Amino acid sequence: MYEAYFRHKFTDEVVLYIFLLLLLLMSPFLFIWELISNIRSFFQCKENMSGKVVLITGASSGLGELMAYEYAKRGARLAIIATKRPESRLEQVAERARVPSPDVFCMFADVSKVDECRMFVDDTIKRFHHLDHLVCNTGIGPIYSSNIDVTKFRPVMEINFWGSIYPTQFALPYLKKTHGKIIVNSSAGGVLHPPKHGIYNASKAALISFYESLRFEVSPTVTITILTIGFIKTNLITAKYSANGVGFHLKEDLGDVVPVMEAKPCAKAIVDGVCKGATSITEPRFYKALFLIKFLFPQLHRFYLYMYCLKIFNAKTGR
Ligand SMILES: NC(=O)c1ccc[n+]([C@@H]2O[C@H](COP(=O)([O-])OP(=O)(O)OC[C@H]3O[C@@H](n4cnc5c(N)ncnc54)[C@H](OP(=O)(O)O)[C@@H]3O)[C@@H](O)[C@H]2O)c1
């Protein structure tokens, strides 16, 4: 029995190191491939969005709002969603998008509620009769600490994960008819697992896992684009969070440790990439290198995050 175990273990290790060696030998070619793909994407044809129908969740601010303007500039007809709050800017966003776009309408709904998701997908179809792109963008990102009652974080999973799955479920039959696209806003956090974001990271990793699996079921009829974006200057990171009684400001506390990208170029890069048929988009693009480091050299990745934790700690204690 032990002999079989060690024989298996030995084969296992040999196979692992052969693969690592192959990866090392192939890396110059992979580098050239990445370079060629990027150059090619500059010249790639873009989908003509004129008259196409795009449904965007979480469009009252940040990336959702800016993606709405990008689609509107390309002539798409829009259905935009956010929750009903007295201070909601959704109607103003719709008003502004109507300047370049022929038809924009907004609906108030909570994506964590299955019936409301069914309702806004149905209402979009009633109004436009078809659907071309579904952008599952809604997300919240409170700071997590193991000292806080974990049940307080349930809405993170409900909004970030289920709030994308429900609209996808209801929109899929219509997207299949138009050979449409699903764009899902995950996060680099779902790959890199930065500290103080445990539940947020888990919700975003779950999205990646779900949509990577769904891709096999619906492709090539429906194209899925997974966004793994890093720190972008929106309400999500400029808001003041409170973790365990300690005021925490992602932008101020981390801004000089991690570069923060402006939201407008990010939204443009996303819509450009989607229209060129990209199946995954990472912005800022250097995060791709971090993903590779995480998989190949996990210790180095943890060291970086440890330094990043230390920076937060120093900022909080005034050191
Ligand atoms: N900013 C970053 O650094 C960053 C990094 C990686 C990934 N992302 C992802 O990008 C997406 C957009 O975030 P953002 O940065 O643009 O932040 P944001 O400005 O806070 O946008 C979040 C949007 O979601 C809406 N929303 C929140 N809860 C909702 C609910 N229950 N039902 C419907 N709509 C809801 C908000 O509108 P109301 O509050 O008016 O409903 C708002 O329009 C999120 O999924 C986020 O996780 C952001």
Q: Please indicate whether residue 84, judged by its CB atom, sits closer than 6 Å to ligand 1.
A: no
| Cβ neighbour number for residue 140 with a 10 Å cutoff | 18
The residue-averaged pLDDT of 305-311 equals 74
pLDDT at 312 over 80: no
**Predicted confidence band of residue 141 (pLDDT cuts 50, 70, 90):** confident
Strands (E) across the chain are located at 53-57, 77-82, 104-108, 133-136, 181-185, 223-229, 232-233, 240-243, 246-249, 261-262, 280-283
Indicate the residue type of 314.
N
What gap in Å lies between CA 293 and CA 298, rounded to an integer?
Answer: 7
* Alpha-carbon separation of residue 41 from 44, 45, 269, 303 (angstroms): 5, 8, 12, 34
Q: Please indicate whether residue 63, judged by its CB atom, sits closer than 6 Å to ligand 1.
A: yes
Ligand 1 atom nearest 227 alpha carbon: 7
| Cβ neighbour number for residue 131 with a 10 Å cutoff | 24
What gap in Å lies between CA 15 and CA 17, rounded to an integer?
Answer: 6
Which of the listed residues 55, 61, 91, 162 should we mutate to test ligand 1's pocket, taking the one with most ligand atoms within 8 A of CB?
Answer: 61
Compute, in angstroms, the gap from residue 113 CA to the centroid of ligand 1.
16
User: Which pLDDT does position 316 carry in this prediction?
Assistant: 58
Residue 248 near residue 239 (C-beta atoms within 8 A): no
Residue 198, SS3?
A: helix
Per the prediction, the chain carries an average pLDDT of 90
Compute, in angstroms, the gap from residue 137 CA to the centroid of ligand 1.
7
Q: Which two tokens stand for residue 70?
A: 């990008």
* Alpha-carbon separation of residue 261 from 47, 237, 266 (angstroms): 26, 11, 7
Q: Which residue owns the Cα nearest ligand 1 atom 17?
A: 236
* Domain parsing of the chain, residue ranges: 46-317
Q: Is the pTM of this model over 0.85?
A: yes
pLDDT at 257 over 60: yes
The residue-averaged pLDDT of 223-239 equals 90
Q: Which two tokens stand for residue 80?
A: 């935009």
Q: Is 287 a catalytic residue?
A: no
- pLDDT tens string 155-174: 999 999 999 999 999 999 99
User: Which pLDDT does position 244 carry in this prediction?
Assistant: 46
What gap in Å lies between CA 85 and CA 128, rounded to an integer?
Answer: 26
Q: How far, rounded to the nearest angstrom, does the alpha carbon of residue 119 sit from its chain's CA centroid?
A: 24
Q: Please indicate whether residue 185, judged by its CB atom, sits closer than 6 Å to ligand 1.
A: yes
Find the catalytic residue in 69, 166, 200, 287.
200
Closest CA to 192 of 307, 311, 293: 293
Q: Which residue owns the Cα nearest ligand 1 atom 16?
A: 62
Q: Which residue owns the Cα nearest ligand 1 atom 46?
A: 139
Residue 152 near residue 166 (C-beta atoms within 8 A): no
pLDDT at 71 over 80: yes
User: Which pLDDT does position 4 carry in this prediction?
Assistant: 80
Ligand 1 atom nearest 65 alpha carbon: 43
User: Which pLDDT does position 260 carry in this prediction?
Assistant: 87
Angle between helices 163-178 and 198-218 (to 10 degrees): 20
Q: Please indicate whether residue 64, judged by its CB atom, sits closer than 6 Å to ligand 1.
A: yes
| Cβ neighbour number for residue 13 with a 10 Å cutoff | 10
Comparison of pLDDT for 27 and 55, the residue scoring more: 55
Residue 193 near residue 201 (C-beta atoms within 8 A): yes
pLDDT at 317 over 70: no
Q: Read out DSSP for 69-95? A: HHHHHTT-EEEEEE---TT--HHHHHH
Superfamily of domain 46-317: NAD(P)-binding Rossmann-like Domain (3.40.50.720)
What gap in Å lies between CA 71 and CA 215, rounded to an integer?
Answer: 23
Q: Read out DSSP for 114-153? A: HHHHHHHHHHHHHHHS--SEEEE---------TTS-GGGG
pLDDT at 318 over 60: no
pLDDT at 319 over 60: no
User: Which pLDDT does position 251 carry in this prediction?
Assistant: 57
Which of the listed residues 65, 81, 83 should we mutate to test ligand 1's pocket, taking the one with most ligand atoms within 8 A of CB?
Answer: 83
The residue-averaged pLDDT of 194-213 equals 95
The residue-averaged pLDDT of 221-235 equals 95
Q: Please indicate whether residue 88, judged by its CB atom, sits closer than 6 Å to ligand 1.
A: yes
Closest CA to 71 of 216, 168, 183, 202: 183
Counting residues of the chain whose pLDDT is more than 90, the rounded percentage is 69
What gap in Å lies between CA 295 and CA 132, rounded to an integer?
Answer: 35
User: Which pLDDT does position 245 carry in this prediction?
Assistant: 45
User: Which pLDDT does position 246 carry in this prediction?
Assistant: 47
Q: Please indicate whether residue 194, judged by its CB atom, sits closer than 6 Å to ligand 1.
A: no
